[in-house]
Structure 1
Amino acid sequence: MTSSAHSAPAARAPHTFRTVFPVLALCWLAVFFDGMDVNIYGAVMPHMLDDPGLGLTPGTAGTIGSWTTFGMLIGALTAGNVTDWLGRRPMLVASVTLFSLGCALCALAGSAGVFGAGRFVAGLGLGGLMPLCLAMVLEFAPPRRAALMTGLLMTSYHAGGMAATGLGLGVAPEFGWRWVFWAGVLPAFIAVPLLLKYLPESPGVLLARGRRAEAEQVADRFGLPRPTEVEAPAAGAKGRIAAIGALFRPESRWATPLLWLASFCGLLLVYGVSTWLPTMMRANGYGLNSSVSFLMVINAGGIVGMLIAGRTADRFGAVRVSAIWFVLTAAGALLLKSELPLGVTYVVVAITGIWLFSAQVMVYAATNSVYRDSERAAGLGLVTGVGRTGAVVGPWLVGALAQNGNQSWGFTAFALAGLLGAAAIALVPLAIRIGRGGARTAAPAVAEPSRA
């Protein structure tokens, strides 16, 4: 920072919620369409299974769900590194365009194989979008409000899930399941123009690409500290390798795999439930409309959960909140395995939604205080990317159980995933203390994950 008038604090906007709002709003819109796309498949799956022309079976449906999340795995692993070369805004636009294209392919599919290819293409875009939006919001978020901003962002995912369920209930029975997928093409015409016009580029990425003046202009406009060479992600292939290697420096070498395991469990729950909840509840004896409605109810609970978890984590720590939420999710999954009256089941589903989705999001929030600014994109990319293996396993596992008539065991699998996720995230602070104790060279101080 210089002493010139141009760089004086008075020339900068205050770093408040108001300054971050444009970034949060645009990322919220992008993640809304992400949530809509992910939940569309689960919302219309009962109708697709009843469509003889498509030739879809429960086993094939589970496999296709895994194709989607396998595409997301590739997209997430790629985006966290490629974004620092090409920029976060262009990659975000490419992600939205890609999953819109995948939805169009699904709507036109005449066979299960072509439909699966469409879901894979959509997955490539969906996988890249989430870590990009998270990295953007965390970079622009006011100090001590990272968890709250993350929670607010992720309410959009569940709003999108509720929109998908509404389409499944209102459009699919009357006009067929294909029209629901046509709705998934809308992001290319709504979100892409807005992102191109209004979303700023990351100051850190601009600085890494040699555009210092633009980086400082964006930082001043949004009330951010001006990025330094240390905070900027290094450019080039060597820089990307170095960024990944930095995730295993002494302070985080043990915390990193624990975050990966917690993310694996969280995403197994998120995508297993999003894909199979209506079909599992229908197998438990509930009617078709009620079974699909459960997906809307659990996403409504997810919105409430994000608001609660974000504020609670800013006070008590993202690690602590995530661990408790995972345990409560496990309890809810076991309750859903029981045969309960319809009204009670709706309540249990809603409450389980409060814990289930925000448990995973608080894993993301914890990474903000485990990794340095220059490591954030790579760290989030790998936490979400490696975690996507859980998103692959979840739909496949429940599909395999459903193929053999054992859908109810899916709830047991979800409960076990919740307990394992709780153990993994709860051990992160201990892992960082152990890493610090073993460090032999000085390193910049990193806040405890429990203070995220």
Structure 2
Amino acid sequence: MSSSPALSLRGSRLALLVVGLCWLAVLFDGLDMFIYGSVLPHMLAEKALGITPDQAGDLGSYATFGMLVGALTAGTVADRIGRKKLMVACVTLFSLASALCAVAGSVAVFGLGRTLAGVGLGGLLPTAISMVSDYAPRGRGALTIGMLMTAHHAGGILSAYVALWVVEPLGWRAAFWICVLPLLFAGVLLKFLPESLSFLAAKGRTEEAAELAARYGVEAPAAPTGRPAAERWASLANLFRGGRWTQTLLYWIASFGGLLLVYGVATWLPTLMRSQGYELGSALTFVVLFNLGGIVGMLVAGRAADRFGAPRISSIWFALTAAGVFLLSVHMPLALTFVVVFLTGVFLNSAQTMIYATVSIATPPGDRATAVGWTSGMGRFGAVFGPWLGGQLLAANKGDWGFTAFALAGVVSMVFIGIAALRAARQQARHDSGQELVGAH
């Protein structure tokens, strides 16, 4: 039965509302994530809080460790309290944690603030991806997720301008005070963001789901069959049933290498470029170009993934990323370096996001938040290791080796997501062959 034009129009408005609110939440997520890397060259130059390069790497790892905790628990918590409430809690947490960083009088307190901020950041992203997946137009799942992730890189661009305009006249603490402002947005989410319809259906709250669907003129989801999504650890166990364990592990390893690369570069790009002789303004310009490339890459990769498959695009993108990151270790003219940084941003950030898109699209709605959260969470081990590795190399005066190490991580992700793509293609071919045999009989 086809939907009426009025129903489709109101459903489109609901999708825009959800994606728009999630986009703004992820924008603030990106600002808070990238602000540390953007102000780090200034903090090291000023010896703020007595930070040394190896301590700076540790502090970057504290935030990504917090993100690991947030990502691993996001799916389970979201399945219990709802995705809307979890998003509000995450925005509130990372905003208040930034206030703790702003008033920190020691490295320990600053590290605590970054760890708590990481918990909020890690919980927000997989939850927002699951939310927009619920409301994405049919056949446009990867593109919608790619559009959402442009917000993360818009936040990275914003962080560079905050560092340029605020840090020099007012100091590094002012940058973290700006990161407290998203606290006001938590109230907006609480008031206007609808709850996930699939969550309501999975919890058995069918009347509430039907009422919400009627209010926005969309079709209510069918009641789930099989084991309840709220059953403890059931969603996680589902990721390993029916031969899915191999694909799950492949995605986890690819995510490890991808996030090592993403957060290693995000934390150390301005500092590594400055160590090669670029001034602070030029180093922060690299951050802007890197994230502009990320925005372009999300839109291009999303459309390409919807057409050719997210695993295939992710594998190709990681190969191009590894080449671009390695080239950054070679001294080139400034204009050429700008081009390489931009293209690296195009491929790097969207390569990792296409892993999430693959997992989100391939997973049933009841398990989706857990699947994305754990894929992101396993990758966070790489995210913890990346900033630490960069700090150790810089402390040993081997900063140029940082780019080589990060490029090797890209090769690892290319290999494992490529294997996952080949396995998926073979399984689909066997499925299609079986369907043909059934049809013949």
TM-score category (smaller protein): over 0.9
Correspondence for 1:100:
95
After alignment, is 11-20 or 220-229 more displaced? 11-20
CA contact (8 A) 1:319 1:366 kept: yes
**1:40 to partner: Cα distance:** 0.2
Distance in 2 between residues matched to 1:293 and 1:232, nearest whole Å:
51
CA contact (8 A) 2:206 2:223 kept: no
In 2 relative to 1, CA 270–213 (structure 1 residues): closer, same or farther, beyond 3 Å? same
Correspondence for 1:255:
247
1:214 correspondence with 2:212: no
In 2 relative to 1, CA 331–79 (structure 1 residues): closer, same or farther, beyond 3 Å? same
Distance in 2 between residues matched to 1:53 and 1:242, nearest whole Å:
47
Correspondence for 2:340:
348
Q: Secondary structure at the match of 1:390?
A: helix
Correspondence for 1:73:
68
**1:390 to partner: Cα distance:** 1.0
**1:286 to partner: Cα distance:** 1.1
Distance in 2 between residues matched to 1:291 and 1:233, nearest whole Å:
50
Over residues 140-198 of structure 1, what are the superposed CA-to-partner deviations in whole Å (9 max), with x where a residue is unaligned? Answer: 11111001001100000011100000011111011101000000001101x21210111
**1:225 to partner: Cα distance:** 5.0
Distance in 2 between residues matched to 1:225 and 1:308, nearest whole Å:
31
> Which of these residues, 192, 197, 208, is aligned with residue 198 of structure 1?
192
Correspondence for 2:405:
413
**1:368 to partner: Cα distance:** 2.5
Over residues 394-429 of structure 1, what are the superposed CA-to-partner deviations in whole Å (9 max), with x where a residue is unaligned? Answer: 101111111101111111111111111111111114
Correspondence for 1:386:
378
Distance in 2 between residues matched to 1:365 and 1:270, nearest whole Å:
17
Q: Secondary structure at the match of 2:7?
A: coil
Which segments of 5 or more consecutive residues in structure 2 lack a partner in the other structure?
A: 435-441
Correspondence for 2:367:
375
Distance in 2 between residues matched to 1:147 and 1:240, nearest whole Å:
29
Correspondence for 1:114:
109
Correspondence for 1:86:
81
Match runs of 1:268-347 below 5 Å: 268-347=260-339
What one-letter code is carried by the residue in structure 2 that aligns with 1:178? R
In 2 relative to 1, CA 344–79 (structure 1 residues): closer, same or farther, beyond 3 Å? same
**1:232 to partner: Cα distance:** 8.7
> Percent of aligned positions with the same letter in both sequences?
50
CA contact (8 A) 2:209 2:220 kept: no
**1:230 to partner: Cα distance:** 2.3
CA contact (8 A) 1:252 1:431 kept: no
**1:432 to partner: Cα distance:** 4.3
**1:12 to partner: Cα distance:** 7.8
After alignment, is 243-252 or 299-308 more displaced? 243-252
- Structure having the higher helix fraction is 2
Distance in 1 between residues matched to 2:85 and 2:72, nearest whole Å:
17
After alignment, is 164-173 or 44-53 more displaced? 44-53
Match runs of 1:229-240 below 5 Å: 229-230=224-225, 234-235=229-230, 239-240=231-232
Task: Give the aligned length.
Answer: 430
Distance in 1 between residues matched to 2:94 and 2:221, nearest whole Å:
34
TM-score (norm 2): 0.93
1:173 correspondence with 2:168: yes
**1:9 to partner: Cα distance:** 4.9
**1:231 to partner: Cα distance:** 8.2
Distance in 2 between residues matched to 1:63 and 1:436, nearest whole Å:
44
CA contact (8 A) 2:76 2:233 kept: no
**1:17 to partner: Cα distance:** 4.7
Over residues 109-167 of structure 1, what are the superposed CA-to-partner deviations in whole Å (9 max), with x where a residue is unaligned? Answer: 11111111110010010010000000001111111100100110000001110000001
What one-letter code is carried by the residue in structure 2 that aligns with 1:366? T
1:143 correspondence with 2:138: yes
**1:250 to partner: Cα distance:** 2.2
